Amino acid sequence: MSAARYLTVLTAVAALCFALVWGWVAAMPLAYLDPEYPAWLAKTELLRRCDLGEIVVVGDSRAAVGILPALLPVKATNLAVGGGHPVEAYEAVRRALACPVPPRRVIVSLVPGHFMEPDLFWERSVRFGFMAADALADLRQTSARLGDTSLDRPKRDDGLTPSLRAMLFRWRFPSLYVDSLLKSAGFLRLAQNRRMLAEVFAARGQYFFGTANGSSGVAAEGRLARFGPLPVMDAYFDRMLSLLASRGIPAEFVAMPLNATTWARVSPALREGFAAYLAGYTARYPGLHVAEPVMPHWPDEAFGDGFSHLNPGGAERFSAELATRLRTAGQMP
């Protein structure tokens, strides 16, 4: 075989192998993506089906863990996501309100840090397909207008522009998924992820992180000196509340509890600044109610890990108390 023909065949084989890998990456994300992916997929599918009920919950992982739709007084769906910011909360609300029968009430729960710092936006929200192309384009425009580039880069900068990175994620370009492919050998997570998907569907979007019988770990609030939202987070929080107000849909801001160990290290400036920030929005939007206190704390025994995620017993207690609060306020039957 001549050298030219050998190179041609080698190139063709390499191209075929790459195409096969790309096809697998595009078609079978359940086979290799992180164990949290099925939870996001379940929420995306519940939104797509408009199978939501009268209450939707939006926010971050503490709400995703701690609010059990099955214990609320009416049909509800938990759309809160791990590492969620006001950006993802707005996107969930926007899509929910586009349904033929939108929810009657929205429960919002976001920790102070998710107004102040980017978390795993590219690693989860974009990688898992929760943020569609139009939503990412809107985010880029909003960020440029505000001069806030905090969500432009992943935690490990890859040198790509936001628009190019978004396009490659949309196409599920294989090089962006190498870490997941290697950890799963390409297919080893399929059975586990399918089970997780079914469980999160059955729980209407709720899922657990840590499930230990207590944790004394110090969560992020223990290291934050004061509250100061990023411009892009504030803009999306305002946009979400404005959208709800325009549709006459009330919003309930419900803070998830911290463990006692973290609470002992919380700066008064952080707590007071967050309370003042939310109070400013209640003055602007009469349909927003903020449950007090804005930074509650519970004994360490109610938490399952060092990030102040409630364990199953803590989540049941919190959800039961929330259901009672909704009934007592006359907001639900």
228-243 pLDDT per residue, tens:
999 999 999 999 999 9
pLDDT tens profile 98-116: 999 999 999 999 999 999 9
Concatenating the DSSP letter of every residue in 158-214 gives: -S--HHHHHHHHHTT-GGGGHHHHHHHTTTTTHHHHHHHHHHHHHTTT---S---S-
Beta strands in the chain (DSSP E): 55-59, 76-78, 105-109, 251-253, 258-259, 288-290, 297-298
Q: Report, as an integer, the average pLDDT of 309-326.
A: 97
**What pLDDT is recorded for position 330?**
58
As beta bridge partners, residue 78 has 57
**What pLDDT is recorded for position 276?**
98
Q: Report, as an integer, the average pLDDT of 159-179.
A: 92
Could you count the other beta carbons within 10 Å of the beta carbon of residue 316? Answer: 15
pLDDT tens profile 131-153: 999 999 999 999 999 999 999 98
Could you count the other beta carbons within 10 Å of the beta carbon of residue 180? Answer: 18
Q: Report, as an integer, the average pLDDT of 50-62.
A: 97
Q: Report, as an integer, the average pLDDT of 32-53.
A: 96
Q: Report, as an integer, the average pLDDT of 46-59.
A: 97
Domains of the chain: 34-157+186-328 (3.40.50)
**What pLDDT is recorded for position 185?**
86
Q: Is the dihedral of CA 24, 29, 30, 31 positive or negative?
A: positive
Residue 300 DSSP one-character state? G
Rg of the chain (C-alpha set): 21
The Cα–Cα gap between 175 and 304 comes to 34
Looking from the CA of 62 toward its CB, the CA atoms found within 13 Å total 27
Report whether pLDDT(261) > 70: yes
Residue 142 makes CB contacts below 8 A (sequence gap 6+) with: 232, 235, 236
Q: Report, as an integer, the average pLDDT of 9-31.
A: 86
